[in-house]
Amino acid sequence: MKNRREFLIQSIMGAAALSLSPLALRGAPAIIRNYNRPNSLINGVQIGCITYSFRSLPDQSAEATLKYVKECGISAIELMGDPAESFAGIPQSNFDRRRMFQLGRKMRGGEELTADEQKEMAEIRAQADAYSKEVAEWRAKVDMKPFETIRKMYNDAGVSIYAFKPSAFGMSNTDAEIAYGMRAAKALGASHVTLEHPSNDAHTLKLGKMGEQYGMSVAYHGHEQQTFDFWDTALEQSPRNALNLDMGHYIAAGHTDLIQLIEKQHSHILSMHTKDRQTPANGKGNVVWGTGDTPIGDVLKLIQRNKYNFPATIELEYQVPEGSDPIKEVQKCLEFCQKSLA
């Protein structure tokens, strides 16, 4: 025999298929309005996901990204720039990013480029510089309505956007681009933007002051350069400067005071990238959750116990196993969180 909840859902959804309009659905019981909507708020802890986790999937549109997020069961995200900006009509790049990366990696590895490769690299760099100028001009003039549309589309599907990460906040970006990034984040409903810490005090001061001007917080992410006092200067510069802590990279840097760092800075942490990495002694690898040295479960319980209000952002960085895909792996990460917070 079906229980009352199943009967209620099937009965009303059956009627909706015949006659219920979206407007009428707003007045339906909450159980119906929330039917088939993701919910990754687990016992008081918001589990989110950065959409970078889906980078290997072929379709990077805003619509496809929303589909991936929903399939994972995630209800709050840090949105990368590409899905939103492509939706808003950003000019398409006309240079070979992959080839530029290949040649750059060769140079960083100490290899010398051939004469033909040097010429090729110079041409690609010139194209990239021209494209950057084109993008800067577009960002300075683009309307915010497409970003508001994305916000509504995601919110209607049960997904909120708490952070936005376009490539608009670097030292080479114009002030107009920085302002654009903050305005777009606000249109998306985000409380903060995220970027890699520039390791430049003048730039964090500038971003903090622009954050004050545009009402947007700026959370700095770090890799293995993170230390216990890594963010102190930025925090002193502006109340809008904050942390986008990465717990996995912090452990891979060899630190043993992650819990103490979170306890000290919890009021300044706006979101936290969550992944499992090994210590230097064990190879620093990005590994399947629960097999590395990062105390993910302990950190989640700390957030729960102390009622910290920042999201733990799933960032899929380990190698996707053969036969699997990013969606399945993010689902596994979410299941790990559910078990940790049970």
Per-residue pLDDT at 36: 80
Look over the chain and give the mean of its residue pLDDT values, rounded to a whole number.
91
Cβ atoms < 10 Å from Cβ of 260: 11
Burial of 40 (0-12, 13-18, 19+ CB in 10 A): buried
pLDDT for res 9:
41
337 versus 14: the higher-pLDDT residue is 337
Mean pLDDT in residue range 29-50: 82
| Residue (of 134, 78, 104) closest to 316 by Cα position | 78
pLDDT higher than 80, residue 57:
yes
pLDDT higher than threshold 50 for residue 12:
no
Q: What pLDDT score was predicted for residue 281?
A: 98
Provide the percentage of residues in the chain whose pLDDT is more than 70: 90
Q: How confident is the model at residue 93 (pLDDT cuts 50, 70, 90)?
A: confident
Phi, psi of 169 (to 5 degrees): -120, 15
Tell me the three-class secondary structure of the chain, residue by residue.
Answer: CCCHHHHHHHHHHHHHHHHCCHHHHCCCCHHHHCCCCCCCEECCEEEEEEHHHHCCCCCCCHHHHHHHHHHHCCCEEEEEHHHHHHHHCCCCCCCCHHHHHHHHHHHHCCCCCCHHHHHHHHHHHHHHHHHHHHHHHHHHHCCCHHHHHHHHHHHHCCCEEEEEECCCCCCCCCHHHHHHHHHHHHHHCCCEEEEECCCCHHHHHHHHHHHHHHCCEEEEECCCCCCCCCCHHHHHHCCCEEEEEEHHHHHHCCCCCHHHHHHHHHHHEEEEEECEECCHHHCCCEECCCCCCCCHHHHHHHHHHHCCCCCEEECCCCCCCCCCCHHHHHHHHHHHHHHHCC
Output the six-digit token pair for 210. Answer: 């622009």
Residue 4 — pLDDT band, cuts 50, 70, 90? very low
Tens of pLDDT, residues 239-294: 999 999 999 999 999 999 999 999 999 999 999 999 999 999 999 999 999 999 99
Inform me whether the pLDDT recorded for 55 exceeds 70: yes
Task: Report the topology of domain 38-90+144-341.
Answer: TIM Barrel (3.20.20)
User: Is residue 3's pLDDT more than 60?
Assistant: no
| Distance, CA of 281 to CA of 75 (rounded, Å) | 36
189 pLDDT higher than 70: yes
Per-residue confidence band for 81, with pLDDT thresholds at 50, 70 and 90: very high
Most confident of the following: 15-29, 92-106, 315-329: 315-329
The percent of residues above 90 in pLDDT, for the chain, comes to 84
Mean pLDDT confidence for 37-65? 97
Residue 23 scores a pLDDT above 50: no
pLDDT band at 35; cut points 50, 70, 90: low
Average pLDDT over residues 300-316: 98
Amino acid of residue 80: M
- pTM, rounded to two decimals: 0.88
Distance CA 312, CA 270 (A): 9
Question: What number of CA atoms fall less than 13 Å from residue 75's CA on the CB side?
Answer: 13
Domain ranges of the chain: 38-90+144-341, 92-141
Q: Which distant-in-sequence residues (6+ apart) come within 8 Å of 310 by Cβ?
A: 46, 266, 269, 270, 271, 272, 303
Q: Which amino acid is at 150?
A: I
pLDDT, residue 6, reads 47
